[in-house]
Chain A
Amino acid sequence: MQNSSIIDFTLNYNKFKKPLFNYVLKIVKSEMFAEDIVHDVFLNFYNNLSLIRNPERIEIWIFTTARNEIFSHFRKNKNKNEENIEQYEDKIHIYNFAEDYEQQELINILEIELSKMDSSQNETYYLKEYSNLSYKEIAEIMDITENLVRSRIYKVRQKLKDVIKKIYKD
């Protein structure tokens, strides 16, 4: 690989590693599998970087590849997935992002609420929140219409807002 390609890879790796990892983690609900998938995506990216001519398409490429890897994972690990989801939901309370107790509680509540939602809805939502992709690009990746992307994200936000409203009322 030439030096300029190595630089391109490193720049994109640093830019996308965290959002990609978080997106995959939220979908597969297992740190171990999320790490495997992210590893495979970046290895694939390294081998195919020279074929991606338009730099604006890199983010779409990475998240599309991630989705494909996730589907393969679900096909291969049908039986293990339910166990993983239970373990992940137990772990949600352990992750401490904020020193502030209230903030941490809020994060936990939102995560639990999102994990209960329909996978197609929360996947669209996570893809939007963890990437800089537009509705149009997400629609392309998920092979759905732009309006459906807009509507799913809106519905997720409404559900989360209802939960927040209850908390603040209490």
Chain B
Amino acid sequence: MNCVEIKLTISEYLDNELSKEKEIVFFTHISGCPDCREEFKHQNLIQHTIKLHQHEVTSRLEQKIFNSLKQEKKSSIYKWIALPVPVYINCILGMVIIIIALFSFLQLSALRNDLSDIRAKYHTALEGIQYQSQQMDLLMSNMPAVKIIGQPLKIIN
């Protein structure tokens, strides 16, 4: 590595962007080159000066930030409370519709149950009638033949 390349490497080293292998080459050169060593010393001093001497964050700013954060916390709850009126009306209407739908569903279920009861009773009655009819047929078919006494009826035209 020559001195021109080393100058660029100094910058990368100060920024922690130098690989371990390049670091070895870098320090080997620095140890043997007074000019590059001088350059490294100056760059180090500049970086140290800039990094070390920073403004503190003012208490005014910190107070402002934390007051705003408190407001943010409150406002997220407040947002739910202070909704415009139409939103509340829509919510109430929605709930009413849901209640009506639920009520209708329950009524419909009850009606269905009644209908099935009626159907069952109808089928039972129908079976009863069919049974009686069968009994009548049996009775009629088992009765003996009877001679009818008397004149046959005249058919008047």
Give the nearest-CB partner of A153 in chain B.
B11
Give the nearest-CB partner of A165 in chain B.
B42
List the one stretch of B48-56, B87-95, B106-114, B137-145 in contact with chain A: B48-56
Chain B at the A interface: SS class: helix
Q: CB distance B12 to A150 under 8 Å?
A: yes
Chain A residues lying within 8 Å of B12, measured Cβ to Cβ, are 150
Chain A residues lying within 8 Å of B17, measured Cβ to Cβ, are 134-135, 150
Alpha-carbon distance A72/B65, docked complex (angstroms): 19
Alpha-carbon distance A47/B75, docked complex (angstroms): 12
B3 contacts the other chain (Cβ, under 8 Å)? no
B20 contacts the other chain (Cβ, under 8 Å)? no
Q: CB distance A43 to B15 under 8 Å?
A: no
Alpha-carbon distance A107/B49, docked complex (angstroms): 7
Q: CB distance B72 to A43 under 8 Å?
A: yes
A74 contacts the other chain (Cβ, under 8 Å)? no
Interface string of B51-87 (1 = CB under 8 A from A): 1111111101110110011001100000000000000
A22 contacts the other chain (Cβ, under 8 Å)? yes
Q: CB distance A21 to B46 under 8 Å?
A: no
Chain A residues lying within 8 Å of B46, measured Cβ to Cβ, are 110, 157, 160-161, 164
Q: CB distance A18 to B49 under 8 Å?
A: no
Interface string of A7-49 (1 = CB under 8 A from B): 0000001000111011001000001000100110011001100
Give the nearest-CB partner of B67 in chain A.
A39
Alpha-carbon distance A31/B61, docked complex (angstroms): 10
A128 contacts the other chain (Cβ, under 8 Å)? yes
Hey, which bits of chain B sit against chain A, CB under 8 A?
Answer: 7-8, 10-12, 14-17, 39, 42-43, 45-47, 49-58, 60-62, 64-65, 68-69, 72-73
28 A–B pairs (Cβ distance < 8 Å), ordered by A:
A1-B73, A13-B65, A17-B57, A19-B54, A21-B57, A22-B54, A25-B55, A35-B58, A35-B60, A35-B61, A35-B64, A38-B61, A39-B61, A42-B65, A43-B72, A97-B53, A110-B49, A128-B15, A129-B51, A130-B54, A134-B17, A135-B15, A150-B8, A153-B15, A154-B11, A157-B46, A161-B42, A164-B42
